[in-house]
Amino acid sequence: MSTVCGDPLGHVVVFGFGAQGRAQALNLHDSGVRVSVALREGSPRREEVLASRLPCLDLEDGARAADLAAVLVPDEAHAALYSEILAPGLRRGTALVFAHGYSVHYGRIRPRPDLDVVLVAPMGIGPQVRARFLAGSGVPALVAVAQDGSGEAMRHARRYAEALGSGRRAILETTFAEETETDLFAEQAVICGGLTHLIAAGFETLVEAGYRPEIAYFCCLEELKLIADLVYERGLEGMRRSISTTALYGDYTRGPRVIGEGVRAAMRAVLGEIRSGRFDQELAREAAAGWPTLQAARDRAACHPLEEVGRRLRGEDS
């Protein structure tokens, strides 16, 4: 058996080889874990797996071979993968590992009672998980147990997180519910939905007032990386100690006018939809319909003047 910090993980089979699957499989391998990747027949990812010198198995063979099955396909594919491949194929006592609690928390998957069902959620996208591991660090990870068939489920989760490199930063215990609900809220209200729409609104406000689109782009989007890096390295107050007095005064006096009670009320409403299951039901209807709302929104965003200016400034239109 392979070992991490002296503890056996056995044969880890990673289902999926997208950004997160690739990063986790390679980190596990580099940590001395016996790891294979399982993909559907005809998957275009097979060549990438073989180029990475990892064994590549069919889905059915991967389920039968796994001591620990890491489910790293997209959330919307979890239910079919579990019902068609994992439920009939996994041996008794196998551990199921998820990188996001969504499918288990909302009941999209109801695992067999003999299985360990654990969460190991790296707090970073796949390329960050890999890059920071290679740099000798790691991203923090959240770990949780939904089902403890062996009595060792939390130990499995912690060993897996350590093999990803998260032990070099932080491993925090949580629950499937807490991870799922906070992750969805942060994505929707702050780091994705909130941030992207704030950037677009700032850009539009400047352009509508007669300022050049290129200047608006640099001010509202490109300079954001400097601030984000400072926040990551030093926290909010550390960032504030690094900016000018003028910027700091504007932050404290004008920021609350932009992100005021109306925004907070909207955030509470968004969180309520997540906690009640309303967002999950809406997402399921959208997926069943073929993602029409998502595609329409992506099409509109791709044609936004902000994107047109960005492509031109980055030289992508030449």
Please answer whether residues 28 and 67 qualify as being in contact, where contact means their C-beta atoms are separated by less than 8 angstroms. no
- How far is the C-alpha of 34 from the C-alpha of 209, rounded, in Å? 59
CA distances in angstroms from 259 to 267, 270, 282, listed in the order given = 11, 15, 27
Note the pLDDT of residue 316. Answer: 85
- Residue 167 burial (10 A CB sphere; 0-12, 13-18, 19+): middle
Helix (H, G, I), strand (E, B) or coil at 15: strand
Q: For residue 200, how many other CB atoms are within 10 A of its CB?
A: 17
What is the pTM for the complete model shown?
A: 0.89
78 is catalytic: no
Beta strands in the chain (DSSP E): 3-4, 7-8, 11-15, 34-39, 56-58, 68-71, 95-98, 116-122, 141-147, 171-173
Note the pLDDT of residue 42. Answer: 87
DSSP 183-217: HHHIIIIIITHHHHHHHHHHHHHHHHTT--HHHHH
- Residue 252 burial (10 A CB sphere; 0-12, 13-18, 19+): exposed
Helix (H, G, I), strand (E, B) or coil at 291: coil
Name 260's Cβ contacts closer than 8 Å, sequence gap at least 6. Answer: none
Q: What angle do CA 108, 109, 112 make, to 5 degrees?
A: 160
- How far is the C-alpha of 236 from the C-alpha of 231, rounded, in Å? 5
Name 16's Cβ contacts closer than 8 Å, sequence gap at least 6. Answer: 37, 39, 71, 72, 73, 74
Note the pLDDT of residue 5. Answer: 43
Residue range 3-16, pLDDT digits in tens: 444 457 899 999 99
CA distances in angstroms from 184 to 40, 129, 171, 180, 188, listed in the order given = 28, 19, 20, 6, 6
DSSP 209-259: TT--HHHHHIIIIITHHHHHHHHHHHHHHHHHTTS-HHHHHHHHHHHHHHS
Name 295's Cβ contacts closer than 8 Å, sequence gap at least 6. Answer: none
Please answer whether residues 32 and 12 qualify as being in contact, where contact means their C-beta atoms are separated by less than 8 angstroms. no
Note the pLDDT of residue 147. Answer: 95
Residue tagged active-site, from 29, 78, 100, 156: 100
Q: What is the pLDDT along the chain (318 residues), one digit of tens a residue?
A: 344 444 578 999 999 999 999 999 999 999 999 999 999 988 999 999 999 999 999 999 999 999 999 999 999 899 999 999 999 999 999 999 999 999 999 999 999 999 999 999 999 999 999 999 999 999 999 999 999 989 999 999 999 999 999 999 999 999 999 999 999 999 999 999 999 999 999 999 999 999 999 999 999 999 999 999 999 999 999 999 999 999 999 999 999 999 999 999 999 999 999 999 999 999 999 999 999 999 999 999 999 999 999 999 888 865
- How far is the C-alpha of 170 from the C-alpha of 122, rounded, in Å? 10
- 99 Rama sector, left if φ>0, alpha if ψ -120 to 50, beta otherwise: alpha
Note the pLDDT of residue 8. Answer: 72
Residue range 256-310, pLDDT digits in tens: 999 999 999 999 999 999 999 999 999 999 999 999 999 999 999 999 999 999 9
Q: Which domains does the chain have, with CATH numbers?
A: 3-174 (3.40.50.720), 184-313 (1.10.1040.10)
In sequence order, what are the beta bridge partners of 39?
58
Note the pLDDT of residue 190. Answer: 96
